[in-house]
């Protein structure tokens, strides 16, 4: 599905904007909300998880990190390889499933930067467990996904309000209400299977993987002006579109080592 969208040139599959040239400005471009505040990038081992097609792996590398990109889409991997070659940026690109990181040893990375993709897998806890294994003690994991409440409301406008398409406690895929991805004159039929992972699932998975959540944000894109009644833009005026979490890998304790 993602390869189909990438071939059509859907904006979500392409690098957006033009990065500045100075290191400080590049860091602001990479991290405008300061999610990595206080985290050293130069010399860090970075896993860009599902980061194909965008600037994140490129900019981490240009800020001095040793970057490995993992993405399931061959088209997205090609986009990053092409960008890297064009800019003379060195990084490693691996095509793979984020639910299986067994090719990497335990404690292999200092930062795991995870682009928007957990919504497409049924087992977010499996992905987060893999991240917890490959993230080194003291390392930082930042990820973003669809807000579990708002996702259940898209396409449910009744004329007077929104009605959830599934109960919040239902972990099954959210029924597709519109399979057409449309941006200007570009239209692609790409029915996706999407899961509204509950906040407790995400936070508890981080804890089970040996990480402590020290940041959680809920937000919508745009200026908050809304849109026509029943539209996604109007819904996102009232409820957040995304949830973003930062977690830190804890250090083993002496007591844990004796068991």
Determine, yes or no, domain membership for 191. Answer: yes
Residue 35 clears pLDDT 80, i.e. is over it = yes
pTM of the model: 0.94
- Whichever domain contains 17, its CATH number is 3.40.50.150
CA–CA separation, 34 vs 68, rounded Å? 22
Determine, yes or no, domain membership for 60. Answer: yes
Residue 259 clears pLDDT 50, i.e. is over it = no
Residue 255 clears pLDDT 80, i.e. is over it = no
Could you read off the pLDDT of 232-242 as tens digits, one per residue?
999 999 999 99
Determine, yes or no, domain membership for 258. Answer: no
| β-bridge mates for residue 180, sequence order | 189
**pLDDT at residue 254, as a whole number:** 58
Determine, yes or no, domain membership for 255. Answer: no
Count: domains in the chain: 1
Domain that holds residue 23: 2-250
Determine, yes or no, domain membership for 107. Answer: yes
Determine, yes or no, domain membership for 210. Answer: yes
Determine, yes or no, domain membership for 256. Answer: no
- 56: tokens are 């994140």
- List of residues 6+ apart from 158 with CB closer than 8 A: none
């Amino acid at each position: 599905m993602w390869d189909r969208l990438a071939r059509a040139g859907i904006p979500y599959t392409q690098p957006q904007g033009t990065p500045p040239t100075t290191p400080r400005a590049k860091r602001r471009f990479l991290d405008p909300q300061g999610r990595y505040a206080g985290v050293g990038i130069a010399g860090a081992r970075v896993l860009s998880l599902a980061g194909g097609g965008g600037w994140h792996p490129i900019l981490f590398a240009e800020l001095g990190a040793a970057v490995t990109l993992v993405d399931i889409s061959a088209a997205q991997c090609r986009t990053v390889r092409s960008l890297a070659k064009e800019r003379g940026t060195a990084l490693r690109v691996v095509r793979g499933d984020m639910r299986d990181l067994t090719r990497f040893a335990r404690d292999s990375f200092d930062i795991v930067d995870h682009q928007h993709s957990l919504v497409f897998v049924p087992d977010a806890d499996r992905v987060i467990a893999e991240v917890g294994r490959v993230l080194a003690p003291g390392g930082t994991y930042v990820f973003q996904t669809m807000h579990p409440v708002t996702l259940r409301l898209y396409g449910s406008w009744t004329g007077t309000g929104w009605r959830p398409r599934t109960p919040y406690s239902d972990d099954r895929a959210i029924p597709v209400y519109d399979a057409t991805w449309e941006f200007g004159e570009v239209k692609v039929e790409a029915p996706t299977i999407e899961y509204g992972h509950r906040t407790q699932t995400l936070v508890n998975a981080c804890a089970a993987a040996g990480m402590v959540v020290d940041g959680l944000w809920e937000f919508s894109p745009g200026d908050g002006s809304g849109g026509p009644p029943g539209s996604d833009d109007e819904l996102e005026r009232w409820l957040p579109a995304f949830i973003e979490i930062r977690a830190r890998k804890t250090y083993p304790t002496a007591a844990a080592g004796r068991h």
